[in-house]
Structures are given as structure tokens and as C-alpha cells.
Amino acid sequence: MKTINIGILGYGVVGAGVAKLLKQKKQLLESRTGAVLNLKTIADIDTATNRGIDLGTTALVSDANVVMDDPAIDIVVETIGGETIAREFILKSLENKKHVVTANKALLASFGNDLVTAARKNQVDLAFEASVGGCMPVIKFLRESLVANDIKSMSAILNGTCNYILTKISKDGSDFEDALRKAQELGYAEAEPSLDIDGFDTAHKLAILNSLAHGMEINLKDIYVEGIRNITPKDIEFAKDFGYIIKLLAIGKIHEDYVEARVHPTMISSSNPLSHVDGSMNAIAIDADATGQTILYGHGAGMMPTASAVLSDIADIARNIISGIKRRVPILGYPEDNIKSIPILPMEELYTKYYLRFEAQDHPGVLAKISGILGENNISIKSVHQKGRKSNGKVPIVMITHTAREAGVQHALKQISKTDSVVGRPVVIRIEEIAEE
């Protein structure tokens, strides 16, 4: 039986998960792939901490070069994370003709095009099923299964921390800070939670999905990103009255010669399957022209779900090695020469529906004033409600608009804020009507 040698860079949670699966599922993996997937070496600056895994003959070393320079190692698994050392190590591994498997979405989103180029130059593979949606096979689905489809749109819940917090606020009326603290206690949120709750992690994943869906270069910098810090129990409550649930969505849509790519809190109908995705679970809805809507639902993070996805990449590469081939499926789903540069629609050009909430003075004429300014900006109101009781002489006014232009909405809200009719910043939450069948 052929032996495929594997090296892991980074022995943290994901690295340990991968090591654990390679050890525990040795027999299963041999039975399925017909090869020995041998974990030869793990490199981490911390070689002292006991991760509770019986490494057997696997070497644990502190110098990553021991992995990267080992001519016997076929596949390097990068689980260090971040965009500095991980990038350097992946590039060096590719230069040394190693196939690379990574879950590093931040790195892929920022430097993925360079990594793809380096993999091509060195004629090796770069695989990243674990980078988006944890154990859900979304990369494989986009790269392989949907090969005869044009992807029309994607809507996805890609960050378990945000979804846990929004679910918590929704189910028990916690405010954001309490829900965040609870998420941190349970280990769903980091001590420094910005990457998650400000939407950046979701944007990294959307950049990768967009590239695979549309055969375009990975483009992170033009994705609009807005996190969930300002979501209040009040808005979640009002949303419910309109039949909406608030989720942090990654939205990607193809148009004639541009794509939409945006991450923000979004109101979706409670009849939309994504509205039932609660807690730390993730889900990805993909609407393609032949398939219609397909949804993948599962654990988007965590030690073993992530390790499972890494193992699927390792097995794929192992099957190639056994067959004597490489680079069987293009890294981004299209051969590099066919990857296009498709522009992302500037956010101010977006047309969508909006939920608006104002803390209005309880004066006659306030509603006329607000709706007048909205009208001047070509925003027409579908429904308006005065919600709840007044407090300190203010009444909440909540509106749902018809489709309007983002630039117009932002301009109108600035004008309204300047009047003495409202207090504080108006709340704006975009509404998404996902194709339902």
C-alpha cells in the first residue's frame, strides 16, 4: 500500500484535530483510500503542551523547516492561521513542491490569488474545503457539483459567533453585550471578538465563495462589511412583527457585468429556511439556474468539523497522488487562465428594501417631515408603524420601504438626522427577499 506523508504546521486546535483524525481513523482512511496517510511530522513553536493525542511515530518539532524541507513529505497542512507566518510558510511549501491544505480564510481572502499563482507555478495543489462552512462541502459543491450551473445568488450564515449572539438576543431578549459575554463564556467568541462580530470573518468567506461561484479573482477589499454590534432586542422584536428574522448574511449575486458582495445584518422572512438556522450553526443557500435553491447546513467551525474538512482535502490529494496525477480540479473551479476580474457593485449603487427606525419627537408633523425627506430621495414607504410607548417624549417610528437606492437612503437619513424631528442615529437594516420555491 502506498504511503502518503503528511506534515502539519501549527499544533493548535485545528492542527490537533487533524492529527487526531489521522491517528484515530487510520484504518478507515486506509480502507477507503487504499493508501497509508502517515502523519510524519508536526511543527509548532510550542512542543511542550500535551494535546492528549498519542502521536506514536510522528515527530513533534519546533522548526517548521523540518516539515517544509522534508523531501518525503507530500502534503503540508497549514493550521497556524493569520496572514504573516502562515503566508510565508505556505509559499515556501508550494515552492518546495508540496501540496498544501489550509483552513485559513483570512489569508485566502487577502492573498489567495498569489497563492493560486504560486501553486500553479509549482504545479501542486492548494485545497481549502475547511476555510468556509467548516465540515459542509461547499467548496466541493461549487467547484465540482455545480459545474453546469450559473450561480445566480448565495445567501449564507457563515459565522457561528454572530449567529449565536443574534439567536440569544432573539430568544431571550438579551442585549448585545450580555449575549457577547455569554458567547465568550461558552467559547463561541474570542476575547477579542472584532474579527467575528464586525463581519470580517464572514467577508473573508464570501470573498472565497464569490470567486468559486463566478470564476472571478478573489476580491475582499470591495466587499461591503457591517457587523452586528448595533443590533438591539428592540429591532429584533419589531422585525418579528413584520414577519422577519435578523441574521448576519453574506450575500453574493451575479449581474450582467458585476457582482454584489456584501455582509450586513439582514432581515429575512420567517418562512425562509435560513431563518431557522439558530445558535452557532451555519448555513449556505445557493441559487443556481439548473438546481434552483440548495442549502447546506452544519457546523461551520470547531475542532473536529474543521478537521473533517481538512481530511477530505487530504484524501482528495492522496487519491490524485495514488493515480499519479495532480491538479485534477482547478483550484478556484476554473483554470487560472479563465479566471476573470469581475467588479463588485459599489454599495451606494445597491437597490434593496430597508427597515428604518427613528426615535422621533412626539410632535405633530414629525411623520410628514420624515416621509417628505424620504420622498425627495425617491424612497417610497411600504408600511409605517409607531411602535411601543413613548419614553422621554420620544416615540419609535418604524418603516419598511419599497426597493430603494442605498445612496438615496443614506442621504435621506443624514438629512433626517439633522432635523429636530428625531433623536440619535436612525437604525437601518436591509431586507433580503431570498428566492423561495
User: What is the contact surface with a copy of itself in residues (CB under 8 A)?
Assistant: 21-22, 25, 28-29, 31-34, 129, 134-137, 140-141, 144-150, 215, 273, 276, 279, 281, 288-299, 302, 304-305, 307-309, 311-312, 315-316, 319-320, 323-325, 328-330, 333-335, 338, 437
Q: Are 244 and 274 in contact (CB under 8 A)?
A: no
* Of 174 and 320, CB closest to a copy of itself: 320
* Of 22 and 154, CB closest to a copy of itself: 22
Q: Nearest approach, Cβ of 280 to a copy of itself (angstroms)?
A: 9
The neighbour count for residue 289, using CB atoms within 10 Å, is 11
* Of 168 and 299, CB closest to a copy of itself: 299
* Of 255 and 276, CB closest to a copy of itself: 276
Q: Is 205 a residue of the active site?
A: yes
Q: Nearest approach, Cβ of 77 to a copy of itself (angstroms)?
A: 13
Q: Of the listed 20, 205, 247, 369, which one is catalytic?
A: 205
Instruction: State the chain's maximal CA–CA distance in angstroms.
Output: 83
Q: Nearest approach, Cβ of 58 to a copy of itself (angstroms)?
A: 16
Q: Nearest approach, Cβ of 171 to a copy of itself (angstroms)?
A: 12
* Of 217 and 222, CB closest to a copy of itself: 217
Q: Nearest approach, Cβ of 278 to a copy of itself (angstroms)?
A: 9
Angle, alpha carbons 140-143-147 (nearest 5°) = 120
* Of 129 and 226, CB closest to a copy of itself: 129
Q: Nearest approach, Cβ of 18 to a copy of itself (angstroms)?
A: 9
Q: Are 309 and 134 in contact (CB under 8 A)?
A: yes
Catalytic residue positions?
205
